[in-house]
Structure 1
Amino acid sequence: MNLSAIYRYPIKSARGHAVNSASMDRFGLAGDRRWMLVDSEGQFYSQRRAPDMALLDVALREDGLSLSYAGESIEVSTPRTGDREISSTVWGHTMLARGVDPRVDTWLSHRLGADLRLVFCPEDASRSVDSVYLPDAKREQHVAFADGFPLLIVSQASLDDLNTRLNNPVPMDRFRPNLVVGGSDPFAEDEWRNLRIGSTTLAIVKPCSRCAIPSIDQQTAARDPEINRVLASYRRREGVIYFGMNAIVTGGGEFTIGERVTVLN
């Protein structure tokens, strides 16, 4: 098996991009979901509420982001210590995130049709991974604005298997993974517990439950309910659809396309 793709998503639920290599920081893949949109009450905003977020293209700059939407673009500077703070909530966890230039908020609000703020997770933020799922409860793990874990792993064979069941095959971007493993059997990742990718070791800690986002075309924002109906026919357990596995790094922290993937147990 090998690492066949690496993806990161600078803004939670906006368009992601593939990279050839990546390293971990204290929150996950460096540059991954350190930014988030929140509504006027500070609740996170995602494609669940606004499918058009799939059309918000994001590029990392040395000190911020470049945003593009429908042919228009704007630059965003990373907030500094002392900049305005905004109470921001993601899946029940509330933290103080840093706000950006209000002109960026206005630009985003006009294009996405809601009163929005763009916030940044600062280095000193503390949002811990649920210790129930950690192999070593004494080793605290943090996450920025990802749903709950630093990494999401999907095997290419699992997507290939799904596509044999669909009338219209879909690309991997429907599932927004960080790491894609090639060369395995379909859904082999369900049984993995510890993994080595190159020199980095990972613990596979929890299946990834799925919402409506896989039904959203990441290139057009159009909805296609077939994918969730098909998944429900064979990937539903106790009323929840699962596809892919959440993971944490237990040693090392560098990834490069093509590296060997070994199941440790």
Structure 2
Amino acid sequence: MTVIRALFVYPVKSCGAIALDRAQLEANGLQWDRHWMVVDASGRFVSQREIAAMARVVPAFVEGGVRLTMTGMDAPLPLPFTPRGNEARVQATVWKDTFEALDEGDEAAQWFSRALGAPVRLVRFAQDVTRLASKKWTNDEDAPTQFADGFPLLVTSEASLADLNARLAAKGAPPVPMSRFRPNIVVDGGEAFDEDFIDTLSISSTKEGEAGAHEVVLRFVKPCARCPITTIDQLTGEREAGWPAEPLDTLAVFRADPRVDGGLTFGQNAMVVAGAGERLAVGAQAQWEYRFED
């Protein structure tokens, strides 16, 4: 039996996570996931790849929005769910995608610039903008996303993490927590790296205000090639010493994937096939459907 063990959202791209017992699923992923993003003067996204300290920006859901805190900052930064309505529209870039976003103003820019020690601004995803995942991977289907690197959801497996940590232990290295991989959904069940061969994941879910079970169907569309963010402690914002650092050094031995040009993969990017509007819950049962190649 496969079970949902954890749900995470990251309201600000590359900043801290919020662990949830229940999460609203939308066509573009979990609600409020990567809805805000830090950008440089050119509008290009800034991540832990450049500024590891972003991991220490801690979000929390509060009445009407999100509150950001960081050790050393005098006051939190409130981010209301509802836009003010007077935000400037600016160009924002995530990898090869450039599209309009809403600038969150000088107060947010100054807060993040002080927190990160670099001149940056904060933008919000504009609800009248559509950004689609690469149709090369989605079988030409529309898969909307917000400021995520490329896909609506990232799913990881506890069995795969246990396998990786056993390999780390065998070489005398400490284990790594799942937080290094920044997933949205963590599943428990099956063998290590079964997700390489999964087509769809069906999850029993509930809709707020309605009785009875519904079903969410996610399709796994692309193995997730890992980057140096996996070498950053997500609590302290500190990088592992040395290069290549763990867990990339160990992943390089057995997880180079030709489907992503030899990238070191862990977890699967996924799109929503059915169930937008449903609520996922930790402890919900799920079922794999394997992909059988001709």
- TM-score, with structure 1 as normaliser: 0.95
Q: Which of the numbers 62, 66, 91 marks the counterpart of 1:87?
A: 91
RMSD, aligned CA: 1.4
- In 1, are the aligned partners of 2:21 and 2:282 still within 8 Å (CA)? yes
Aligned to 1:244: 267
Quote how far apart the aligned CAs of 1:71 are.
4.7
Structure 2 gaps of 5+ residues are 205-214
Q: In 2, distance between residues paired with 1:194 and 1:44? A: 31
Aligned to 1:165: 167
Q: In 1, distance between residues paired with 2:198 and 2:103? A: 39
Output the amino acid matched with 2:266: F
Quote how far apart the aligned CAs of 1:60 are.
2.9
Quote how far apart the aligned CAs of 1:62 are.
4.2
- In 1, are the aligned partners of 2:220 and 2:268 still within 8 Å (CA)? yes
- In 2, are the aligned partners of 1:7 and 1:19 still within 8 Å (CA)? yes
Q: In 2, distance between residues paired with 1:101 and 1:251? A: 36
Structure 1 gaps of 5+ residues are none
1:213-241 deviation per Cα after TM superposition (whole angstroms, max 9, x unaligned): 10000011121212111111111134310
Map of 1:7-22 to 2, 5 A cutoff?
7-22=8-23
Map of 1:14-33 to 2, 5 A cutoff?
14-33=15-34
Identity across aligned pairs (percent)? 40
Aligned to 1:127: 131
- Asked if 1:233 corresponds to 2:253, the answer is yes
Q: In 2, distance between residues paired with 1:62 and 1:221? A: 28
Output the amino acid matched with 2:48: Q
Q: Secondary structure at the match of 1:45?
A: coil
Aligned to 1:39: 40
Q: In 2, distance between residues paired with 1:193 and 1:75? A: 39
- Asked if 1:99 corresponds to 2:103, the answer is yes
Aligned to 2:288: 263
Aligned to 2:143: 141
Aligned to 2:225: 209
Q: In 2, distance between residues paired with 1:22 and 1:200? A: 12
1:146-195 deviation per Cα after TM superposition (whole angstroms, max 9, x unaligned): 01110101110101111112211111000000111102211011100112
